[in-house]
Structure 1
Amino acid sequence: MPLTAMTSAEVRERLGELPGWELRADKLAREFRFPDFNAAFAFMTRCALRAEQLDHHPEWCNVYNRVKVELTTHDAGGITDRDFMLAAAMQDYAAVSAGS
């Protein structure tokens, strides 16, 4: 099934479901903060496993307790449902990792 980029209106509507996420340079973007490096790395590990299942990989950067994330679907030329699926999983994993 080919992935289709969402319209700007669709993206704005769906962003309301993801607290802390924003649209930056045509990508879903968010910075997560954790108590320490171990919690940040645990978060990234969980996300990496889910990303592999979705065959959808984030652009991200980790420095100590922070993880900056950007999501877009390059093959579709924009943001797709897959980006929102991964972002929602990241929300859940962040809550778990913050308590690590």
Structure 2
Amino acid sequence: MTPEPLSPKEIEDRLAELPGWALADDRITRSYQLPSHFAAAAMVVHIARTQDELNHHAVTTLGYDTVTLAVNTHAAGGAVTELDLELARRVERLAPLHGAGARA
């Protein structure tokens, strides 16, 4: 079953529950600052496992001490769906385990 695109209002309402996440270029995005490159790389591995569990994958960028995600649902024509928000919620729960904070 293909996930249904969310309306702009639905996206706005759900992002209000996910501080640090924003809508940009038809994707929800967030960057995290981590204490070291190793911590950032470990977070990426943890995100990869979560993405495989959901069978839904973000564009994930590893910097020296940063991790940035951008996600939408290709099967819904590149729109934002509940699946994207579920991935964001799961990443939010695992981020503190790696010492992540929002990038300034």
- The TM-score range, normalised by the shorter chain, is over 0.9
Partner of residue 10, structure 1: 10
Partner of residue 72, structure 2: 72
CA RMSD across the alignment: 1.1
1:9 CA displacement? 0.7
The equivalences for 1:48-59 within 5 A come to 48-59=48-59
Partner of residue 38, structure 1: 38
Amino acid corresponding to residue 15 of structure 1 in structure 2: L
Partner of residue 88, structure 1: 89
Which residues of structure 2 form unaligned runs of 5+? Answer: none
1:92 CA displacement? 1.2
SS at 2:67 equivalent: strand
- TM-score normalized with structure 1 length: 0.94
1:2 CA displacement? 2.1
1:51 CA displacement? 0.3
Structure 2 CA distance, aligned partners of 1:93 and 1:64?
Answer: 19
Structure 2 CA distance, aligned partners of 1:34 and 1:82?
Answer: 25
1:33 CA displacement? 0.7
1:64 CA displacement? 0.8
Show CA shifts across 1:47-69 (max 9, x none).
10010011101112111111111
Runs of 4+ in structure 1 deviating by more than 2 angstroms, as ranges, are none
Structure 1 CA distance, aligned partners of 2:63 and 2:50?
Answer: 21
Amino acid corresponding to residue 21 of structure 1 in structure 2: W
SS at 2:17 equivalent: coil
